[in-house]
Amino acid sequence: MISSMVMAQLVTRLLFLLVIFHYSIATDTLNPNQPLRDDQILVSAKETFALGFFSPGGSSKNRYVGIWYNKLRPAGQKTVVWVANRRSPVSGTNGSLELNGNGTLTINSMIFLPMPIVALTNPVAQLLDDGNFVIREANSSEFAWQSFDYPTDTLLSGMKLGWDLRTGLNRNLTSWLSYDDPSPGHYVLSMDLEGIPQLNVWSGSTKMWRSGPWNGTTFGNVGESPSDFRPHFVSNKDEVYLMYNTTGTKTQTRVVVDQSGMVRQFVWMESVVMWKNFFYCPKSECEMYSKCGRYGVCDINIWPTCSCLQGFKPKSPQEWALRDASSGCERLTALDCKNMTDGFMTITLAALPETSNAILYANISLNECSTKCLKNCSCTAYAIAKISGAGLGCVVWVTELIDLRLSSHATQDVFVRLAGSDLALISTKSSKKRQSKSVVLITVFSMVALIIPLIYLCSWGKKRMIHKDVRGNGKFELAQLQWSTLMEATHNFAKTNILGKGGFGLVYKGKLAEGHEIAVKRLSKNSTQGIDEFENEVTFIAKLQHRNLVRLLGYCIKGDEKILVYEYMPNRSLDAFLFGKEKSDHLDWQTRFNIIEGIARGLLYLHHDSRLRIIHRDLKASNILLDIEMNPKISDFGLARNFGDRETMIKTRKVVGTYGYMAPEYALDGVFSMKSDVFSFGVLILEIISGQRNRIFLSNPHLYLLGKAWRLWNDGKVLDLLDPLIGNSFSITQVMRCINIGLLCVQEKPEDRPIMSSVVIMLGNNDALLPEPKEPGFKAIFSTKHDTVSNQNDLHTFNDITLTEQTGR
């Protein structure tokens, strides 16, 4: 019998022979009439990159010619950086890449990209160590054609992103359609030549994000990069482009536009053998283009995040009251250019507004810029600008200001033009505010000896005041809707408008007079827990804003009636799609994966990135709502708890939540933490993949979803967990990865479960190595119970029961 050591040596030698055989077939050069077959590859001189046929996601159905990192291959996976025939895949494994005698590349005799116009006499195609695939004359260093001119979704060191104005060539990045489909997707990162050049992310004709103009070292709306990442921006009469260079450094980095429209910068981490997502954008709601409309300003550190500049008011107060600021703001007082009474208000720490209609003046002072703006009746604002190699300059806006936001990494001031009367009013308010601050400081210092004894009383009083507010005697920072308005919107709370029933009351569909569709949660009068839920919803979700959290629009209190008004989700809740058989066929794999990713991002925001640290405590399929594009929104914060900065876990005698989603330490001992939500998220992942509820069968643990997933994982049959309604259009690698992550999240011990920031990285980075999961929570417990009830015939199940008050042991 061959020992394991001898077997390992044989395998190593065999792999070495295969590599030598591979390299002997194809080095870094392709010559005319020597086709590269499906089982062959080109490898660059220093073995940095490889080129050949591949199938994304492990499927052999479609074959593409691509370039990938040859050495940097975490877990043996290809990190593909360029695809030749992304619109025209080859079926089967009989494809070949060929260089014709005139210097034209073909795949199965078909030209896939624009090729050199001038015929070459002695052409060669070569894969270079920077990842560029080039065609040139054999005795020349000049390129007749290069893959760097036709990027797909990835920007490498030395590539240009932008325009060659001499030829009209526009080099932009276009996302893959999905993880396993490299055909052009929905998002494009391109250089905008209008006004002052900047980078934009587009979805069709809709602008999603912009980089801001170049400030001499980076683009204004982009944060810091690794120290070895050296961006370089060129703008002249011949070219406008961005390029970075890491040649001569130890840094391997790439910039990618992913399938969700995110721009990500990955850096290779040798110590952990994986790509780390160093930077991404947009990072927050405020970085979404024109979040607050014209003359609105977005600040992620305050609530609501959108506000009008001083001297302006909401253009549509009704829409703003419902937290829809897209209509923007309008001036309180018109400008008076004729009499020269206008002036400027300073906005500090601002990211420059949209510059596509702005004018750039080089080498003029700030005072000159102010004068130039006042003399131009169309001028609305100005700001100083750094121009690389030309000293200071000035940016002047001649249209309404769009996409203005405050930013922690921005250091610029924007001077907004206002009517003199508005400036005087602002000055008066500022003076009174300064005087008020002085009085407050004097008072605080004089009474400091009295403050400490009052802390307890203030805390007690605050709790009393919250309950007073809940009963209708106070005000919240939300739109307060009239009872008559909601009666009209819901047709007197008609039964035909009922969307669903929660633990604390019914939810109705409504439509306001302005046409806004809303969801109206009418809390049950008989539920004592309803008061607590109302308080939690108003306290927490009203102060949170994220694309994967449902928006709370307003409230209404009338007598014993307590009503919360949310944005309407036309596709209702996730459980209807997963477990309602009439809808389950609508969820293909890509949609399910997008839902998993969206829930993860929303949970990460709650745990780490929001103003508060929130533990949801009731994360489940029925509390995940889906908008018209099937984007997930976490809802129902009635059981949520706020964690202090130093708190890691809390023990309670009131165990609340839903069986089947509860972490074992919480259900059994009343201990909850962020890891409790991670457990619930893991259950959700496995439910989304399997289309099965996590029913807990006390008399048969093998029917318990987590136990079933664990058994299939250990048996090497984990794909048997996949919902058959998904069909055959899915990525095996991605499904396996998601199941692995799901099992990591439901491990029995909280300390073994990952935090949500790690989960988001694991979901978004297919190269990240995943640890082996340990046994899921409850499995051992239910196995023991199974032994005690094995003689019973009945199966006892529980998973949908929501606990409102239960004493933990």
Answer yes or no: is pLDDT of 146 > 50. yes
Three-state SS for 599? Answer: helix
CA 386/CA 394 separation, integer angstroms: 8
Three-state SS for 629? Answer: coil
Highest mean pLDDT pick, 71-80, 114-123, 763-772, 774-783: 114-123
Q: What are the structure tokens assigned to 350, written together?
A: 């601002």
- The answer, yes or no, to whether the previous bond of 213 is cis (omega within 30 of 0) is no
Residue 470: its pLDDT value, please?
39
Check if the beta carbon of residue 651 is closer than 8 Å to that of residue 641. no
Who has greater pLDDT, 411 or 221?
221
Beta strand spans in 211-259 (E): 230-235, 239-245, 253-257
Phi, psi dihedrals of residue 308, rounded to the nearest 5°: -85, 145
- Report the pLDDT averaged over residues 751-770: 85
Residue 544: its pLDDT value, please?
77
Residue 530: its pLDDT value, please?
60
Q: What are the structure tokens assigned to 760, written together?
A: 């988001």
Residue 795: its pLDDT value, please?
33
CA 42/CA 134 separation, integer angstroms: 12
Three-state SS for 413? Answer: strand
Which one is catalytic: 149, 342, 618, 723? Answer: 618
Answer yes or no: is pLDDT of 696 > 90. no
CA 103/CA 122 separation, integer angstroms: 8
| DSSP 8-state class, residue 749 | S
- E strand or H helix that includes residue 118: none
Residue 584: its pLDDT value, please?
57
| DSSP 8-state class, residue 8 | H
Among left, alpha and beta (phi > 0; psi -120 to 50; other), residue 377 is alpha
Answer yes or no: is pLDDT of 608 > 70. yes
* Interior/surface letters 793-803, b for 16+ CB within 10 angstroms, e for the rest: eeeebebbebb
Describe the crossing of helices 529-539 and 448-468 by its angle, rounded to 10 degrees.
120
Three-state SS for 148? Answer: helix
- Under the banding of pLDDT at 50, 70 and 90, the label for residue 385 is confident
Candidate from 321-330, 456-465, 675-684, 768-777 with smallest mean pLDDT? 456-465
CA 421/CA 724 separation, integer angstroms: 68
Q: Is 618 a catalytic residue?
A: yes
- Under the banding of pLDDT at 50, 70 and 90, the label for residue 619 is very high
- The Cα-based distances of 104 to 98, 110, 125 in angstroms read 8, 10, 9
Q: What are the tens digits of pLDDT across the range 227-267? A: 667 789 999 999 999 999 887 777 889 999 998 888 999 88
- Under the banding of pLDDT at 50, 70 and 90, the label for residue 193 is very high
- Report the pLDDT averaged over residues 453-482: 48
Residue 653: its pLDDT value, please?
55
What is the share, in percent, of the chain residues with pLDDT greater than 90?
41
Q: What are the tens digits of pLDDT across the range 387-400? A: 544 557 889 999 99
The 3-class secondary structure across 271-306, one letter per residue, is CCCEEEEEEEECCCHHHCCCCCCCCEEECCCCCCCE
Name residues whose C-beta falls within 8 Å of residue 23's C-beta, 6 or more positions apart in sequence.
43
CA 305/CA 262 separation, integer angstroms: 21
Phi, psi dihedrals of residue 561, rounded to the nearest 5°: -80, 130
Candidate from 128-132, 561-565, 710-714 with smallest mean pLDDT? 561-565
Answer yes or no: is pLDDT of 682 > 60. yes
Candidate from 37-46, 320-329, 382-391 with smallest mean pLDDT? 382-391
The residues facing 184 across adjacent strands are 176
| DSSP 8-state class, residue 266 | E
Q: What are the structure tokens assigned to 282, written together?
A: 């947009």
Check if the beta carbon of residue 125 is closer than 8 Å to that of residue 44. no
- Under the banding of pLDDT at 50, 70 and 90, the label for residue 81 is very high
What is the share, in percent, of the chain residues with pLDDT greater than 70?
78
Residue closest to 88 by CA, chosen among 103, 110, 66, 56: 110
CA 711/CA 697 separation, integer angstroms: 15
Residue 391: its pLDDT value, please?
54
- The Cα-based distances of 395 to 214, 353, 363, 619 in angstroms read 12, 10, 11, 48
CA 743/CA 685 separation, integer angstroms: 9
- The answer, yes or no, to whether the previous bond of 89 is cis (omega within 30 of 0) is no
Angle at 17 between CA 16 and CA 19, to 5 degrees: 65
Centroid of chain to Cα 754: 19
CA 256/CA 266 separation, integer angstroms: 8
Answer yes or no: is pLDDT of 528 > 70. no
- Report the pLDDT averaged over residues 418-424: 93
**Torsion angle, alpha carbons of 402, 406, 409, 415, to 10:** 70
Residue 655: its pLDDT value, please?
60
In 469-573, alpha helices (H): 483-489, 529-539
Q: What are the tens digits of pLDDT across the range 565-580? A: 988 998 888 998 898 7
Q: What are the tens digits of pLDDT across the range 309-360? A: 999 999 998 888 777 898 999 999 999 988 889 999 999 888 889 999 899 8
CA 404/CA 334 separation, integer angstroms: 20
Residue 657: its pLDDT value, please?
67
Residue closest to 662 by CA, chosen among 652, 672, 649: 672
Domains of the chain and any CATH numbers? 25-149 (2.90.10.10), 151-283 (no CATH), 287-427 (no CATH), 474-567 (3.30.200.20), 576-803 (1.10.510.10)
**Torsion angle, alpha carbons of 637, 641, 643, 644, to 10:** 110
Check if the beta carbon of residue 48 is closer than 8 Å to that of residue 131. yes
- The Cα-based distances of 224 to 179, 232, 241, 283, 700 in angstroms read 28, 14, 19, 13, 54
* Entry field: residues in the chain: 809
- The answer, yes or no, to whether the previous bond of 231 is cis (omega within 30 of 0) is no
Mean pLDDT of the chain: 81
CA 10/CA 797 separation, integer angstroms: 52
- Report the pLDDT averaged over residues 50-61: 82
Residue 451: its pLDDT value, please?
47
Angle at 584 between CA 581 and CA 588, to 5 degrees: 160
* Interior/surface letters 125-149, b for 16+ CB within 10 angstroms, e for the rest: bbbbebbbbbbbeeeeeebbbebbb
| DSSP 8-state class, residue 471 | I
Residue 582: its pLDDT value, please?
56
CA 124/CA 59 separation, integer angstroms: 31
Check if the beta carbon of residue 763 is closer than 8 Å to that of residue 754. no
| DSSP 8-state class, residue 771 | P
CA 755/CA 677 separation, integer angstroms: 10
CA 488/CA 511 separation, integer angstroms: 8
- Under the banding of pLDDT at 50, 70 and 90, the label for residue 781 is very low
Residue 554: its pLDDT value, please?
85
Is residue 727 packed enough to be buried (19+ CB in 10 Å), middle (13-18) or exposed (0-12)? exposed
